[in-house]
């Protein structure tokens, strides 16, 4: 199984590997060290990554030759076209073209045409394609053509939180402040006059929130402690194909205030408050309501467990092996 070490895919891969009743060899790629086999090479969405992707492909083929897996699970698109012996599963957690459309409101410019071709080739060469929401699966089909076998939705999962602690009257958010998809600048604007602290965990990259309190990047244990105490978790996202941070907060008993976008409606409708991502006044009102009348999302979060995620993946792995054996 491959995973980059930059974002939530790494957490997904680790949780899935731990929950699967199977031996998993995790091969990580990216600028941050991984705990297993790792290469510090560019990822497909980075600037001019093509030489590094070729090096990564040779390394992954060597790993397959050494480990002889039954299935190659790729948490990226480009290497779906690599000549692996085992059946190839491509998991589409997000992509630049769908991000661009959601955040910029227009198709990605021509500078992303090579990326578009590489991703399309990787998807079309896979034996199966999955995504964590029907929204994301639909985006892959819309942008890159019909998916092998039609594609399949397998929700991500997250372990249950530790024992509950008393909630405190503050709002927590997590993510890169400069990422337009996370839309934390609108949350910063909504924090003005809220009457409760709004804490932002994550990289601010030189940005200075004016009304919320920036905590910077936190260790996992520190962030988990904040989630356990926070009354409300806010994610007014413009683009979020799944949102592990949201699930982790729901598991910790937070009330959710989310951007009103298709993927989050799909997962949390009836268990969260939704707002127009571009309306800080509506966001402020929803946060105040959530603080005054908590609506913890623990029950809904129970649908998205590591066990359910692992069972769905294992069933698909078995299908892929059975088809290959039958052929």
pLDDT digits (tens, 9 = 90+) for 229-276: 999 999 999 999 999 999 999 999 999 999 999 999 999 999 999 999
Residues 30 and 90 in one domain: yes
Q: Which of 235, 284, 287, 282 is nearest to 258 (CA)?
A: 235
pLDDT value at position 58? 98
Residues 59 and 7 in one domain: yes
Residue 134 lies in a domain: yes
Residues 101 and 176 in one domain: no
Q: What is the band of 324 on the pLDDT scale with cuts at 50, 70, 90?
A: confident
Look at residue 33 and tell me whether its pLDDT is greater than 80. no
The chain-wide mean pLDDT, for the chain, equals 95
Look at residue 98 and tell me whether its pLDDT is greater than 80. yes
- pLDDT average, residue stretch 277-300: 97
Residues 290 and 322 in one domain: no
Residue 282 lies in a domain: yes
pLDDT value at position 126? 98
Domain that holds residue 70: 2-157+305-326
Residues 139 and 189 in one domain: no
Residues 278 and 185 in one domain: yes
pLDDT value at position 36? 73
Residues 10 and 145 in one domain: yes
Look at residue 163 and tell me whether its pLDDT is greater than 80. no
CATH number, domain at 110? 3.40.50.2000
In the chain, pLDDT over 70 holds for what percent of residues?
Answer: 99
pLDDT value at position 162? 73
Structure-token match 């410019």, residue found: 109
Residue 163 lies in a domain: no
Residues 219 and 278 in one domain: yes
Residues 75 and 31 in one domain: yes
In the chain, pLDDT over 90 holds for what percent of residues?
Answer: 90
**Number of domains into which the chain is organized:** 2
Look at residue 207 and tell me whether its pLDDT is greater than 90. no
- 218-239: buried (b, 16+ CB within 10 Å) or exposed (e) per residue? eeeeebbebbbbbbbbbbbbbb
pTM: 0.95
CA distances from 79 to 47, 73, 205 (A): 17, 10, 31
Residue 25 lies in a domain: yes
As a whole number of angstroms, the distance between CA 220 and CA 242 comes to: 19
Residues 145 and 86 in one domain: yes
Structure tokens at 162: 């530790």
Residues 152 and 96 in one domain: yes
DSSP string, 225-242: HHHHHEEEEEE--S--SS
88-91 and 152-153: which strand pairing?
unpaired
Residues 312 and 296 in one domain: no
């Amino acid at each position: 199984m491959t995973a980059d070490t930059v974002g939530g895919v790494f957490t997904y891969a680790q949780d899935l590997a731990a929950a699967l009743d199977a031996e998993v060899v995790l091969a990580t790629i990216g600028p941050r060290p991984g705990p297993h086999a790792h290469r510090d090479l560019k990822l497909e969405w980075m600037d001019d990554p093509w030489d590094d992707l070729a090096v990564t492909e040779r390394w992954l083929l060597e790993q397959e030759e050494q480990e002889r897996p039954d299935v190659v699970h790729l948490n990226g698109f480009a290497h779906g076209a690599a000549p692996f012996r085992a059946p190839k599963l491509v998991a589409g957690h997000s992509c630049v073209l769908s991000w661009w459309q959601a955040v910029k409101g227009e198709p990605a410019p021509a500078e992303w045409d090579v990326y578009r071709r590489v991703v399309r080739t990787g998807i079309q060469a896979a034996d199966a394609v999955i995504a964590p929401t029907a929204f994301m699966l639909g985006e892959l089909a819309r942008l890159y053509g019909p998916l092998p076998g039609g594609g399949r939705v397998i929700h991500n999962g997250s372990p249950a939180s530790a024992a509950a602690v008393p909630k405190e009257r503050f709002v927590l958010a997590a993510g890169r402040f400069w990422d337009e998809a996370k839309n934390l600048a609108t949350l910063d604007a909504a924090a003005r006059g809220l009457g409760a602290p709004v804490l932002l965990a994550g990289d601010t990259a030189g940005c200075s929130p004016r009304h919320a309190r920036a905590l910077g990047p936190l260790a996992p244990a520190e962030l988990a402690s904040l989630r356990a105490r926070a009354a409300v978790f806010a994610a007014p996202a413009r683009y979020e194909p799944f949102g592990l941070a949201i699930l982790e907060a729901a598991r910790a008993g937070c009330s959710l205030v989310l951007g009103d976008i298709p993927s989050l409606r799909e997962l949390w409708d009836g268990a969260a408050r939704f707002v127009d991502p571009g309306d800080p006044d509506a966001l402020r009102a929803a946060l105040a309501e959530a603080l005054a009348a908590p609506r913890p999302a623990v029950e809904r979060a129970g649908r998205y467990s590591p066990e359910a995620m692992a069972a769905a993946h294992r069933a698909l792995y078995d299908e892929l092996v059975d088809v290959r054996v039958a052929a």
